Homo-oligomer: A and B are copies of this chain.
Amino acid sequence: MTQDDALAAAQPCAPAFDAAFRANLADLIAWRRDVRRFRTDPVPQPLLDRVLDLACLAPSVGNSQPWRFVRVDAPACRRAVKRNFERCNAEALSGQPQDRRTLYARLKLAGLDQAPVHLAVFCDEGTAQGHGLGARTMPEALHYSVVTAIHTLWIAARAEGLGVGWLSILEPTAIARDLDTPAAWRFVAYLCIGWPVEEHTDPELVRHQWQNRASDCRRVLQR
């Protein structure tokens, strides 16, 4: 290796992304979707590893990298998660106004039974990584960092043809207890991952008449 080669290796050229890539990326973003209908075929471990490797390149406040992943396979743990969801979902149903209750009851809100991979994602609030930089006035920035990792995982998975469903109809402290995670870890998301049964560009909640796209969510206030 010449000295120039060594320099080039040390400072690789930034890639330029062309219009064809951007068009595919726009498709990826449009077809990402929250998936709740999975096939039961297993997900190869190397594929899941690739997706997790990319997730760990997500931005994080102070470079704190506070994301923590728990793969949930044990039947007893899965049963506890499912009971948690069923309890929270029943409460949510009974809290619905009368005119939306039938609609709510018809929604499929989780893919817990079919999804081959269950991944609980936590934020390590006790991490020394990052030395607290950027999280003094906004401690929630630590949780937000975990969300950027989840979203990175989500789009990387979709690029592999995998679907991801984010479940938040859960009681977080019970999840942490049932999965016996460290005390400083705060529960952020429960992800079901697998091959989707069907593919759509419209969200499940639009297709099933729960909530249309907002017409004004793209408005930008000027100041």
Residue of B nearest to A206 (CB): B63
Q: What B residues does A69 contact at CB under 8 A?
A: 219-221
**A171 CB within 8 Å of chain B:** yes
Give A169-211 as 1s and 0s: 1 = Cβ < 8 Å from B's Cβ atoms: 1111000000111000000110000000001110101100011
**A168 CB within 8 Å of chain B:** yes
Quickly give the copy total for this chain: 2
Find out whether the CB atom of A25 lies under 8 angstroms from the CB atom of B221: no
Residue of B nearest to A18 (CB): B24
Give A33-77 as 1s and 0s: 1 = Cβ < 8 Å from B's Cβ atoms: 110000000000000000011101111011111011111111001
Give A131-170 as 1s and 0s: 1 = Cβ < 8 Å from B's Cβ atoms: 1111111101101100110111011101111000010111
Find out whether the CB atom of B147 lies under 8 angstroms from the CB atom of A144: yes
Q: What B residues does A106 contact at CB under 8 A?
A: none
For A, the interface residue count at a CB cutoff of 8 angstroms equals: 105
**A214 CB within 8 Å of chain B:** yes
Find out whether the CB atom of A169 lies under 8 angstroms from the CB atom of B77: no
Contact with A92, one of B21, B136, B206 (Cβ below 8 angstroms) = B136
In angstroms, Cα B22 to Cα A32, docked, is 14
In angstroms, Cα B58 to Cα A12, docked, is 31
Would A136 and B28 be within 8 Å (CB), given that A144-B147, A180-B223, A211-B129 are in contact?
Answer: no
In angstroms, Cα B33 to Cα A83, docked, is 40
Find out whether the CB atom of A73 lies under 8 angstroms from the CB atom of B222: yes
- Measured CB to CB, the residues of A under 8 A from B are 12, 14-17, 21-22, 24-34, 52-54, 56-59, 61-65, 67-74, 77, 88, 91-92, 95-96, 100, 104, 107, 109, 119-120, 129-138, 140-141, 143-144, 147-148, 150-152, 154-156, 158-161, 166, 168-172, 179-181, 188-189, 199-201, 203, 205-206, 210-214, 217-223
